[in-house]
């Protein structure tokens, strides 16, 4: 058996106080990929999925993000089976608001009765009494956002939820939500090649709200041979994905990337990005290009 590299640690990314009181290392883990193809059913290798979760803890990751729709139910159940009882500093974030009729099929459901049913299932599968961060996975166009968020506010008052977050929203959505209850996080698609949520990120920075970018590893044509990501990766003996993560971590102090994987080796590679320090020139070059 080869000896584990103990020098990698998510703490190298720095920390952020999620919701003002949950100190997390800024490089977390997104647990969507520990399910079957199409984010449906059981993983092809359940033992490897559990090994990834255990390795998260060893690598200092103390923010794990999941959702009841991943599997559905599979990701949450594997996390509960593998990690509960959790390390004292572990923060588990999950979501409700998308239902899954089949593989690759995602449909919004923000009805209050659905959210109440969903929280009970998540608590049971994750083996928790309180969800640290409960996120509305999507705003349901058929349900007033105030109704969905009002239910999540009630769950917070009941002690089943500690903090509330949103996903795939604009600034106006955020402001309306803040009139209903405090918002602790926003999870939007954001990476080197997709910066459509700049205004939302800036709003999060202004209010001290965590910004959790999903699909964080994308670097597109910027990673082509001889391209900016490729050249900077060579400078650091790193992969393009690691450079994409290093740029995100440098981009904002409220940025909490949660790259997902079903492989222990890829997890270790992602965490190693926490210790990559881009130079000012490298960061500026990546910030001015898109691909």
pLDDT in tens, 40-63: 999 999 999 999 999 999 999 999
The catalytic position among 70, 86, 134, 190 is 70
Summarize the confidence of residues 203-224 as an average pLDDT: 91
- The two beta strands, 131-136 and 91-96, are parallel
Token digits for 34? Answer: 């520990």
Q: Answer yes or no: is 237 within a domain.
A: no
Q: Answer yes or no: is 200 within a domain.
A: yes
Q: Answer yes or no: is 197 within a domain.
A: yes
- Residue 271 phi/psi, 5° resolution? -65, -30
C-alpha span between 188 and 195 (Å, rounded) = 10
For the entire predicted model, the pTM comes to: 0.95
What is the rounded average pLDDT for all residues in the chain?
Answer: 95
Q: Is residue 70 annotated as part of the catalytic site, yes or no?
A: yes
4, pLDDT greater than 50? no
Print the domain residue range for 28: 13-216+254-261
Q: How many domains, the chain?
A: 1
pLDDT at 38: 93
- Residue 18 phi/psi, 5° resolution? -70, 125
**Can you give the CATH number for the domain in which 110 is found?**
3.20.20.100
Q: Answer yes or no: is 212 within a domain.
A: yes
* Residues making up the chain, counted from first to last: 291
C-alpha span between 10 and 19 (Å, rounded) = 19
Q: Answer yes or no: is 80 within a domain.
A: yes
CB 136 within 8 A of CB 95: yes
pLDDT in tens, 115-174: 999 999 999 999 999 999 999 999 999 999 999 999 999 999 999 999 999 999 999 999
Q: Residue 291 — very low, low, confident or very high, per pLDDT cuts 50/70/90?
A: low
Q: Answer yes or no: is 139 within a domain.
A: yes
Q: Answer yes or no: is 243 within a domain.
A: no
Q: Answer yes or no: is 131 within a domain.
A: yes
pLDDT in tens, 229-277: 999 999 999 999 999 999 999 999 999 999 999 999 999 999 999 999 9
pLDDT at 224: 87
Task: Give Dmax over CA atoms of the chain in angstroms.
Answer: 55
């Amino acid at each position: 058996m080869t000896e584990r590299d103990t020098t990698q640690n998510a703490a190298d990314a720095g920390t952020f106080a999620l919701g003002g009181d949950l100190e997390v290392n800024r490089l977390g883990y997104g647990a969507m990929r520990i399910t079957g193809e199409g984010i449906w059913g059981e993983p092809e290798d359940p033992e490897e999925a559990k090994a990834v979760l255990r390795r998260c803890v060893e690598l200092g990751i103390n923010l794990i993000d999941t959702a009841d729709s991943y599997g559905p139910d599979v990701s949450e159940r594997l996390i509960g089976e593998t990690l509960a009882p959790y390390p004292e500093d572990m923060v588990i974030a999950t979501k409700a608001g998308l239902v899954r009729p089949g593989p690759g099929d995602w449909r919004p459901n923000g009805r209050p009765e659905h959210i109440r049913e969903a929280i009970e299932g998540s608590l049971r599968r994750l083996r928790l009494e309180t969800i640290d961060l409960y996120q509305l996975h999507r705003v349901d166009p058929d349900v007033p956002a105030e109704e969905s968020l009002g239910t999540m506010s009630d769950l917070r008052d009941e002690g089943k939820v500690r903090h509330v977050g949103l996903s795939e929203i604009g600034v106006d959505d955020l402001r309306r939500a803040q009139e209903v209850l405090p918002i602790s996080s926003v999870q939007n698609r954001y990476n080197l090649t997709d910066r459509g949520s700049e205004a939302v990120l800036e709003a999060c920075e202004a209010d001290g709200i965590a910004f959790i970018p999903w699909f964080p590893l994308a670097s597109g044509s910027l990673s082509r041979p001889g391209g900016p990501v490729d050249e900077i990766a060579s400078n650091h003996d790193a992969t393009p994905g690691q450079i994409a993560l290093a740029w995100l971590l440098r981009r904002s102090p409220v940025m909490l990337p949660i790259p997902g994987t079903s492989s222990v080796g890829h997890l270790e590679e992602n965490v190693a990005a926490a210790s990559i320090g881009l130079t000012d020139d490298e960061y500026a070059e990546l910030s001015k290009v898109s691909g």
